[in-house]
Structure 1
Amino acid sequence: MSGSSPRPSYAALFHIPHASRTFAAALTGRLSYGLVSLAMMLTTTHATGSLAAAGTVMALFGAASMFLSPARAALIDRHGARHTLIPMSSLYAGLLTAFAVTAWRPGAPALAIGALAVAAGACTPPLGPTMRTVWSRLVPNEALLRRAYSLDGVLEEILFVSGPLIVGAVVQGAPPAAAVALSALLVWSGTLAFVMSPPVADIRPATVKTARTGRRWQGGRALARPVVVALGVGLSLGAVDLLVVAFAEQHHHRAATAAWVLAALSLGSALGGLLNGAADGRLSPGARLPLTAGGLGLALLAAAFAPSLGTLTVAVACAGFFVAPALTTSYLVADATAPAGFRTQAGAWVNTAVNAGSSGGAAAVGLLLGRLSLGWCFAISGAASLTAALVTLRTAPTAPRGPGRSCCRTMPTPASS
């Protein structure tokens, strides 16, 4: 296999049997998530004429999707991917379609729209965590797995950048609800193609023995380190979005200018993710975990002293350089510490921590703005990631333990597979 070289390239991932087909299908389904938030918000505003109603609906949808993510991932580990994802995606797509039909024209009742949004959020298929589980099964060594997770994270970020652009194109000639319907079609068709691929069929229900091991694992601290880092990164990122807008307004720039600063954040993250995946791996994921979180925190502390928008853009781009590596490493450590049959749940906990942190960071900085200077707000956002880095340093295991794959040393590269 191509992954047998000491430093395999990203291209080696697509020499693995079925990897290209499976990954393309997962990305198709995950593109739905790049569309759905903006599409639902515009649809609710169009149907009710109320931005407040749209905000409430989106908060309910996001909360249901976020906090039930580990439970949905547990169903996949317990019953197998095919038996779980097909009904889950069908129900989710059906509820999104019902949402689109109900809110197609103005005058739709906000209560019905909200109920459908909550129900849809509760059924969101965890395609990202499941794809990472597939990668951990397909890829035989840590060096290539790091490339797989890095590429996965970078392309996911591109999906979330391109999704709103697609929504904008759709609403030029159709009601916003058409974009919700498109999101439903993407997630259903992508998930169906995904579960039909042979690697996904291999994600089978956990055995009784594995379930007992999983209960012991869930009671330990192995998963705490990647979840804490993901939470810290989410808190920082949730704060940065609003802080950049506030900085642009304070320095008499148009609010739209903030989009360029946030684009620099995404560009820095993509570059950092690709370079992290291509690194030689001398540091284990466990050792990289606090370093990447700490780098993000220090860059945001530097942003606190930015005198102009140009300087802020550079500081934010430097912060972005650590985002994808921090999250990729969190997923790697979670996967390495989870026993077989529980890796989807491990990835879902990391994913939930990022999203919860992002929501909490945005809410917290919204309360702090006007009470503290922007410099202090940027410093506090950086402190969230720095605190996460310090916590992971203090809780670092002294030796590999637990039933999962070791994350504390580089795995040897096999000669063949």
Structure 2
Amino acid sequence: MSALTSSRPSPARRPSYAAVLRVPHARRTFLAALAGRLAYGTVSLSVLLSVTRATGSYAVTGLVMALFGGFAVVLTPVRATLVDRYGPRRALPPMAGAYSALLCLLAAQTWRPGAPPAALAVTAALSGCVAPPLGPTMRAVWGRLVDDPALLRRAYSLDGVAEELLFVSGPALVGLLLRFGPPPAGLLLSAVLMLAGTCAFVTSPAVRGVTGPKREVGGQAGGFPAAPVIAAAGLGLALSGADLLVMAFAEQRSYGTEVVPWILAALSVGGAVGGLLNGAVDWRLPAAERLAWLTVALGAALAVAGLAPGVWFLALAMAATGVFVTPTLTTAYLLADETAGDSARTRAGAWVNAAVNAGTSAGSVVAGLALGRLSVGLCFALAGAAALASATGVRAVTRLRA
């Protein structure tokens, strides 16, 4: 355990979220990581708007977005392995520097119309290749800062809720920026956030104490976190089509697309509430069993959403679904951290992160195809079934390893 660990709370009372931030160096480290991670909340919309404005082609924009997101997802475990091997202070700054420089290049390419699509595609692909894994690294640092299981669960819940809010506030920040400048300004903002946040993060005393592991006999400790990855992939697969399904529901019932953002906001609010409640509950179930039941509840709530007779019921059902989203992800990250050795913590969390994103990408395609052939209610049921199937996979893997 790290020498920085001094976080075991008194057994007489349950640890609070304030206690998490009172852990030495936790507040500074967490805020720095959030500043860098805010770049991920602003960059996707900025790339979308900038490339569309520069090329006037949705096909080119789709290709650029696919390359940007695809390389970021596929190579996440590789970048996390570099962090585990060399430590955050040596691995993250070069990634952040290259990522920020490439975003600035993309901003320059899209500042005026007429940008060559091939050049945009190459820049976007390279940007995705070097995206720093700040989220998995911060969660690995939480594991070193906090040695009490209840307090660590609070820390992970706080991290999950904050990440949820970043992806809500990021697009709003880009929207505000568009009132004063063109879309590429959002790319420049993302570059500044990533570079400044990463530099502040790696200079924190909590991170300065994290170095790459010594060479181990017989390889690195900790295997592939199969159960957390299955749950995360199922969650991404189940929720990926939510935007399309909600929009299809609104259009078929003649509510208009203006209700869609509010319904999706209900999903995000439910996620924030669920994350806070998850950290407050003194769970008795082991993490693996808890993960399976949370995934079942998420799938059931999503299937019920397909039975909605009207928009208010749908909003409530999506909020109820959201209540299980952040706890499912938080538990998956906790279980991955538990099963990983000290030399593979960042990589274990990165596998979970990559699984969510991969499930989201695949599910969007499936949802689009299914909506052309099946009713909206049945599509919601299939999305719920994907989560239920992942719960079955979690239980099977847990039993095999037991």
Q: TM-score range by the shorter chain?
A: over 0.9
In 2, the alpha carbon distance for the partners of 1:139 and 1:398 equals 30
Tell me, what secondary structure is at the counterpart of 2:219? Answer: helix
Q: How far did residue 2 of structure 1 move?
A: 6.3
The match for 1:384 is 386
C-alpha deviation, 1:395, in angstroms: 2.2
The residue identity in structure 1 corresponding to 2:250 is A
1:203-242 map, 5 Å: 203-209=210-216, 212-214=219-221, 217-218=222-223, 223-242=225-244
Aligned to 1:282, the other structure's residue is in SS state coil
Residue 226 of structure 1 contacts residue 333 of structure 1 at CA under 8 Å; is this kept in 2? yes
Evaluate the alpha carbon distance shift between residue 365 and residue 180 of structure 1 in structure 2; reply closer, same or farther with a 3 A threshold.
same
Task: Work out whether residues 10 and 148 of structure 1, in 8 Å CA contact, stay in contact via their aligned partners in 2.
Answer: yes
Q: State the identity as a percent.
A: 52
**Cα displacement (A) at 1:70:** 0.3
Structural RMSD (CA)? 1.3
* 1: CA distance, partners of 2:54 / 2:372: 33
Q: Which residue of 2 aligns with 1:259?
A: 261
Q: Aligned residue for 1:358?
A: 360
Deviation larger for 277-286 or 59-68: 277-286
Asked if the contact 2:220–2:343 (Cα under 8 Å) also holds between the matched residues in 1, the reply is no
User: Who is 1:5 aligned against?
Assistant: 10
2:73 pairs with one of 66, 73, 77: 66
Alignment length (residue pairs) = 395
Alpha-carbon distance, 1:24 to partner: 0.4
Aligned twin of 2:327: 325
Kindly indicate whether the alpha-carbon contact (under 8 Å) linking 1:26 and 1:194 is maintained by their aligned counterparts in 2: yes
Structure 2 stretches of 5 or more lacking a match?
Answer: 1-5
Q: Secondary structure at the match of 1:208?
A: coil
Please give the per-residue CA displacement for 1:168-217, whole angstroms capped at 9, x wherever unaligned: 11111211111100100000000000000111122211222177133xx4
Structure 2 residue 169 is matched with structure 1 residue 162: yes
Paired position in structure 2 for 1:25: 32
What is the SS of the residue equivalent to 1:213?
coil
Residue 250 (structure 1) aligns with: 252
Q: Aligned-pair distance for 1:398?
A: 7.8
Distance 1:361 1:399, change over 3 A: closer
Between stretches 104-113 and 327-336, larger displacement belongs to 104-113
The alignment's TM-score, normalised by the length of structure 1, stands at: 0.92
Structure 1 residues 138 and 357 mapped into 2: Cα distance closer, same or farther (>3 Å)?
same
Q: For residue 194 of structure 1, what is the aligned residue in structure 2? A: 201
Give distance in 2, aligned partners of 1:178 and 1:355. Answer: 26
Mapped to 2, the partners of 1:235 and 1:266 lie a distance apart of 17
Between the aligned partners of 1:210 and 1:18, the Cα distance in structure 2 is: 33
Give the superposition deviation at 1:354. Answer: 0.4
Q: Give me the whole-angstrom Cα distance separating, in 2, the residues matched to 1:5 and 1:306.
A: 46
Aligned residue runs from structure 1 range 12-411, under 5 A: 12-209=19-216, 212-214=219-221, 217-218=222-223, 223-397=225-399
Q: How far apart are the structure 1 equivalents of 2:399 and 2:197?
A: 39
Partner SS, residue 341 of structure 1: helix
One-letter code aligned to 2:38: L
Looking at structure 1, the residues matched to 401 and 174 of structure 2 have their Cα atoms a distance apart, in angstroms, of 49
- The equivalent of 1:408 in structure 2 is none
CA distance in 2, matches of 1:97, 1:321: 37
Q: For residues 127-182 of structure 1, give each alpha carbon's deviation from its aligned partner in whole angstroms, at most 9, with x where no partner exists.
A: 00000000000001110111001110101111100111111111112111111001
Aligned AA (1:274): L
Are the equivalent residues in 2 in contact too, given 1:223–1:337 (CA < 8 A)?
yes
Per-residue CA shift, 1:331-386, capped at 9, x if unaligned? 00000000111000000000000011111111101001120111110000000110
Asked if the contact 2:46/2:184 (under 8 Å) is kept, the reply is yes
What is the distance in 2 between the residues matched to 1:271 and 1:398? 33
Runs of 4+ in 1 over 3 A off after TM superposition: 397-400
Is the contact made by 2:7 and 2:147 (CA closer than 8 Å) also made in structure 1? no
Contact 1:66 1:356 in 2 (8 A): yes
The verdict on how the C-alpha distance between 1:2 and 1:331 changes in structure 2, with shifts beyond 3 A counting, is closer
